[in-house]
Amino acid sequence: MRYLSNVVTLRLDEAACIGCGRCPEVCPHAVFVVEDRKARIVDRDACMECGACVRNCPVGAISVVAGAGCVAGLLGGVLGLKSECCCSEERGCE
């Protein structure tokens, strides 16, 4: 499943990662893999921003603004509100 492209707040500090493998275990959308003893994001746009990876990372190498993904932004767009995108400076989007 895809949400909106290039708006996910998910970030991984690869230098801090210890390669424990928890993130791919708990991610419902297979966003992560572990290769060469480090996690790597393989499909950022598949992230639904549930926060499971953040809650399970023992070293705090992952960050995401957990919520309902971009559902609020999509619904707002359909309802004619400000923007179809949930991305904003407050959410840490690039």
Could you give the number of structural domains in the chain? Answer: 1
The three state secondary structure string of the chain is: CCCCCCCCCCEECCCCCCCCCHHHHHCCCCCEEEECCEEEECCHHHCCCCCHHHHHCCCCCEECCCCCCCHHHHHHHHCCCCCCCCCCHHHCCC
Give 68-88 pLDDT, tens digit per residue: 555 555 666 677 765 444 544
Residue 74 lies in a domain: yes
Task: Say what the pTM is.
Answer: 0.69
What value does the mean pLDDT take over residues 37-58?
93
Residue 3 lies in a domain: no
Residue 88 lies in a domain: no
Residue 6 lies in a domain: no
Range of the domain at 72: 11-81
CATH number of the domain bearing residue 48: 3.30.70.20
Residue 66 lies in a domain: yes
Residue 17 lies in a domain: yes
Q: How confident is the model at residue 37 (pLDDT cuts 50, 70, 90)?
A: very high
